[in-house]
Structures are given as structure tokens and as C-alpha cells.
Chains A and B, each alone.
Chain A
């Protein structure tokens, strides 16, 4: 586990993500998803760049079915960006690092 990226669960989602003062990027993933594993290191790199400005969480959709269901997620990896408890961006699939950074920059 990268130091900047914590796990978030169905039960901690409200407190960790929706109540957060900082914008939050949540990476929805599962162990069986190849692209999710591949995108992990990219998110880690980004989390270092945005340290202190954006919070980063990973949500294992196998263990936490409620949250992905609430946001209509039917594909992973999906990245959701929250600000002030509201979903601002949804990025689906394996995307360029630049695309993720663009989304973050828009919210800062």
C-alpha cells in the first residue's frame, strides 16, 4: 500500500470521502482486474504530486459493493473525484496520467 493512498470501505466512505475538506480521488478496483493493477502505480505517482492538496483512497469493489452501486459503477478501474461531498468527475478505464491530472487541476 502506498503511503498516500488509504483504503476506504462502504462504512468509512461518508466520513473519509464525503465529509472531507480536501478534494478526494477514489480509485475503485478489484484484485481480478488487470488494468486496475496496472493503473495503481500511476495513481501512486500522482498522489505524490498532489500530496496535501488532494486525498487519495482505494475502494475494493469486491469487499464494498454498496458504494460502487450507489454511483452506478459497472466498470473498473473507475476514478471518482469528490469535492465538498459531491461527485465532480468520473474517469473510466485505463487512461493517461495527463487525463487524471487534468481532472484534478480543474477541481483545485
Chain B
């Protein structure tokens, strides 16, 4: 067969992609790592990671990524800032159209992660960056001594709301159910925090404001139907994630939420294409799970490439 440009292309350089790159480099695969923005992905916005083993004091997402990149570089990994626009993965040799060229390879690991989900309410687009945020570590200092809303009930929403209280006067944590989904330790901290008021059984119906930015959010109690307006200067949205898969264009099987379906070997429905981390259909999206997925994906990609070569 014609020799492709690379053995393996890893798409995405968050914890999943970087882990895969370390395993691939150590397997001596000729690997290209692509990142469309900056290495790190969603973890960059995480103020404090205290459930990733090996760092007993905890550390920031940005610091953890720095360490992962340092480790990857030690094995000669290079990351290219480039975006995959489309790909043809039906043949043994896969072809990826990037924004600056077309590359060919034997195997692909999709590690493109996920992005914060939008609520889809009026005002959301208009006030993004003008009071609406998905990154507490970035934007909390703009809301010193203010009252803000936070939307969600999972780990991210609860952890980041607690972080917000270091800066703001008060956080309304708006959650559509009557109990939080976050880890118990985070729930306990939130419930004990005098600056957090949890608004149960409620959804945001609009974000309101003026040229100056956000001024209030309208909320509705889903049980009683009661509506009211909370006067806030900011609104932080942590209502889940959507997978970054637009470039796949239906080439691999995905679940109802659009997350890539894989088996225990991280194989997608297309031979030679693997998926790892937040982008895949998985019950838990954490650094620890992304790292585990990617070690498997890279090892399986190496096996797959070896099998191809022996044909």
C-alpha cells in the first residue's frame, strides 16, 4: 500500500489527546497531533482539580495541562495548530482535510472533547462575554461584590459556584431538579456556603440587560409554574456539554446526544478510527477517565497499525 503521511493522527490536545500522544510517541508511531485552538481544552477553565490522583494538594487545570504538555514534549510530541474540516475515513488509508493542507494516515484518534452546552434562551448570545460566562476562573474577578446567577447542578456547576463565592457577594444556583447531581463532597460544601442560595426546581427562561450588560435573569419554577426575575450582574452557565464532532459529518456512529459510540477498545464503528475522552459516549467525563480512555485508544491504534503492516 502507498505510504501515508503519518501512522496516526490525534485530533485534539486536551488531556485525552495529550495522553494518547505520549503513548503513541513511546510506541514510536509517526504521529501528528492537531489542536484547533490552544492545547488544554475544557480543563483550562477548571479552577481546581482535586480528584486527579498524584496531586494531593490539587492543582489548576492550566497547571495540569502544562505538566502534561511538558511530559509529551519529553517524548518528542509536537502539536500543530490546525483544524480538521472534513475527513474520508472509509478506506484503509484515511484522508483528513485540514485548514492548511490534506494529510493521510493509517489510524485516527478523535479526542476533540466537548463544549459547554447552551441553554437556548433569549439574551444568551447577546450577552455572552457581557455578563454571561462559562468560565469562573476567567471571569469571576469582573463580578467582585456582585450578585450573580449560576445555572446547573452537576460537578462543574457546583464546584465553580463555590469558586465564585471568593469574589461575589451572592450566587443564586439555579437547578431544574430538587437535588444536585454533583459529588456529595461538593454538595455539602455548597449547602454550607452562606453565599450560595440554591433555587430548586427552576429553569432560566431569559437573560435580560442593556448595553451595559446583564441586569437580570427570568426564571420559572417547573413544579409550580411560578415565574420571577432575579436581579444579577452575571450569569454563569454550566448545564452540560455537547461533543465537538461537526467535522465527523456522520462518518462514525454516535449516540442520541451526538457523542461517539465506542467499544471497550475505544474502537468506533469505523476500523482504524478510535475515540477517547469527553467526545465519546461515556457515563463520566473527567480528566481521569479521559486519560484512561486514551491509553487504551493509543495502544489499540498501535495494534491496529501493526496488523495493517503485517498484511
Enumerate chain B residues within 8 angstroms of A34, measured Cβ to Cβ.
Answer: 40, 44-46, 60-62, 65, 137-138
Enumerate chain B residues within 8 angstroms of A96, measured Cβ to Cβ.
Answer: 36-37, 83
Map CB proximity to A onto B134-153 as digits: 1 under 8 Å, 0 otherwise.
Answer: 11011101110000000000
Q: Does A36 contact B (CB under 8 A)?
A: yes
Interface residue stretch chosen among B125-133, B169-177, B200-208, B260-268: B125-133
- Closest CB of chain A to B121's CB: distance in Å? 18
Enumerate chain A residues within 8 angstroms of B99, measured Cβ to Cβ.
Answer: 98
Map CB proximity to B onto A42-67 as digits: 1 under 8 Å, 0 otherwise.
Answer: 10010000000000000000100000
Within 8 A of B (CB), among A4-60: 30, 32-42, 45
Q: Does A2 contact B (CB under 8 A)?
A: no
Within 8 A of A (CB), among B235-253: none
- Closest CB of chain B to A52's CB: distance in Å? 21
Within 8 A of A (CB), among B41-64: 44-46, 60-62
Known: A35-B44, A42-B38, A94-B38. A78 touches B129 (CB 8 A): yes
Q: Is the CB of B138 within 8 A of A76?
A: yes
Q: Is the CB of A74 within 8 A of B133?
A: yes
Enumerate chain B residues within 8 angstroms of A41, measured Cβ to Cβ.
Answer: 38, 81
Q: Is the CB of A94 within 8 A of B37?
A: yes
Q: Does B185 contact A (CB under 8 A)?
A: no
Q: Is the CB of A75 within 8 A of B138?
A: yes
Enumerate chain A residues within 8 angstroms of B44, measured Cβ to Cβ.
Answer: 34-35, 37-38, 94
Q: Is the CB of B37 within 8 A of A42?
A: yes
In the complex, which of the residues B40, B211, B234 has the most CB atoms of chain A within 10 Å of its own CB atom? B40
Known: A94-B44, A98-B99. A73 touches B138 (CB 8 A): no
Q: List the B residue with the shortest CB-CB distance to A37.
A: B62
Q: Does B15 contact A (CB under 8 A)?
A: no
Known: A38-B40, A38-B62, A98-B99. A76 touches B130 (CB 8 A): no
Q: Is the CB of B138 within 8 A of A35?
A: yes
- Closest CB of chain B to A28's CB: distance in Å? 10
Within 8 A of B (CB), among A61-108: 62, 72-78, 90, 92-98
Enumerate chain A residues within 8 angstroms of B311, measured Cβ to Cβ.
Answer: none
Q: Does B213 contact A (CB under 8 A)?
A: yes
CA distance A86 to B44 in the complex (A): 31
Map CB proximity to A onto B177-192 as digits: 1 under 8 Å, 0 otherwise.
Answer: 0000000000000000
* Contacts from B to A (Cβ < 8 Å): 36-40, 44-46, 60-62, 65, 81-83, 99, 128-135, 137-139, 141-143, 211-213, 234
A-B contact pairs, 25 of them (CB 8 A): A32-B137, A33-B135, A34-B46, A34-B60, A34-B65, A35-B45, A35-B138, A37-B44, A38-B44, A38-B65, A40-B38, A72-B212, A73-B129, A74-B142, A74-B213, A75-B129, A75-B139, A76-B138, A93-B129, A93-B134, A96-B36, A96-B37, A97-B83, A98-B36, A98-B83
